[in-house]
Amino acid sequence: MSPVLFIIYMDELNTLLNDTKIGCHIAATCINHIAYADDMVLLAPTVSALRRLLDLCGTYAATHGLTYNVKKTKVMYFRKGKRPVTTLPIQLNGQDLEYVDSFKYLGHIVTSNLTDGMDLDRHRRALSVRSNMLARRFARCSDYVKMLLFKTYCTTIYTCELWCKYTKAEYSALRVEYNNALRIMLRLPKFCSASEMFTETRLPGFAALKRQRVANTRERFYNSQDKIVPALLQINGPLIEHRMKLHSDIIIF
């Protein structure tokens, strides 16, 4: 019951934040916070707007016996172009908050310049560790078991459907690591054909895996009952444009 009770306890704060109408607007929808369990993100177009939202959160916490972890609370300024950035002090409970250029939120690395290179590199390094560990610990298992382990531990590339701004080198490095992971586990030659390897094992190649994840996310977007998601679908942002480019031939019913 703990998660449900906590949501009920925090519901009043969500209502108070929504009633301010202070925040970022997409079409006619105001979005000033995103809450998931005990993680909350505040969205504001200006420093003064962010300060007002933080003051509201601080007051609510003081009157409801809550304590914010200031050390884990960060501020990120999303840059537009290459203009110089002047950061003004922002406080929570009387303590200055740290400005950062990147932050890992719900398993995905968000950067101030809205690029996905850091998240791709994180997945590349994690994939290398997992594949080598599996190849070492299960070296004497059958190929069937190894393929099952690969499908379970190496094809779950979390949030890859959100990538839309990265370089070919960053994407290629992760794709090569994905191909090498299966080669290492099955003890295949280093330069064997990747397409033939995935065809024979009936495992998804990296491009097919990413396209499937993006298609599933699109379907969930269009079927979502959340008020924020329809607002996102009304704009031609880089994420939507990238998905349309990848899947212009896919029709979801």
CB 120 within 8 A of CB 98: no
pLDDT in tens, 129-152: 999 999 999 999 999 999 999 999
pLDDT in tens, 3-35: 788 888 888 999 999 999 898 887 778 889 988
The reported pTM is 0.81
Residues 212-226, mean pLDDT to the nearest whole number: 82
Q: What is the pLDDT of residue 16?
A: 92
**Two tokens, residue 148:** 């099952």
| Nearest residue to 67 (alpha-carbon basis) of 57, 52, 76 | 57
Beta bridge partners of 103: 110
Q: What is the pLDDT of residue 252?
A: 38
**Phi and psi for 83 in degrees, rounded to 5?**
-70, 145
pLDDT in tens, 153-168: 999 888 888 888 899 9
Tally the C-alpha atoms within 13 A of residue 220's C-alpha that lie toward its C-beta: 7
**Two tokens, residue 97:** 């908050």
Tell me the pLDDT band of 235, cut-offs 50, 70 and 90. Answer: low
What is the spatial distance between Cα 66 and Cα 64, in angstroms, rounded to a whole number?
Answer: 6
